[in-house]
Amino acid sequence: MHCREREKREMEASMKCLCFFGLILIVGVAVIDAAGECGKSSTENEAYKLAPCMSAAQDGNAVVSDKCCLQVKRMGQNPSCLCAVLLSNTAKSAGVKPDVAITIPKRCNLADRPVGLKCGAYTLP
């Protein structure tokens, strides 16, 4: 009888260990999935970095500042992040016009901009 109790405790310990590792795996996958288009930073947080682009994102004739072009160049290294930011709720609530905002990389004369990239319903020129 002593052997059965011991086997039962070992089995319970194995199940607890298995459950613990399963939980770790689930949490790990959730953390990986939480990384969106902009990596560990949310698109909403990244949108704030484009504050120098506000007037250029609302008016296609506005001069694009050097600060704006620098931020767009940095963000343009990850085109899916740039698109997500330009189409984010933060950008929309700030009055950004997506059809104007997507022209900023071209207006900054960025040679390595993602030409032809589909950005939601828009295409980067």
pLDDT at position 3, please? Answer: 63
pTM over 0.75: no
Phi, psi dihedrals of residue 36, rounded to the nearest 5°: -95, -150
The residue written with tokens 């310990």 in the block is: 13
User: What pLDDT score was predicted for residue 90?
Assistant: 87
Q: State the greatest distance between any 2 C-alpha atoms of the chain, in Å, as a whole number.
A: 87
- Tell me the fold of 43-123: Hydrophobic Seed Protein (1.10.110)
User: Residue ranges of the domains in the chain?
Assistant: 1-34, 43-123
Q: Give me the pLDDT at residue 76, please.
A: 83
Question: What's the average pLDDT block by block, 10 residues per block, for the chain (125 residues)?
Answer: 65 48 38 63 87 93 95 88 87 89 90 77 74
Task: Give me the pLDDT at residue 8, please.
Answer: 66
- Predicted confidence at residue 6, as pLDDT, reads 65
- Give the single-character DSSP code of 49: T
- Distance, in Å, from the CA atom of 36 to the CA atom of 81, rounded to the nearest integer, reads 8
β-bridge partners, 123: 118
Measured distance CA(10)–CA(89) in Å, rounded: 53
Give the model's pLDDT for residue 52. Answer: 94
**Per-residue pLDDT, 1:** 52
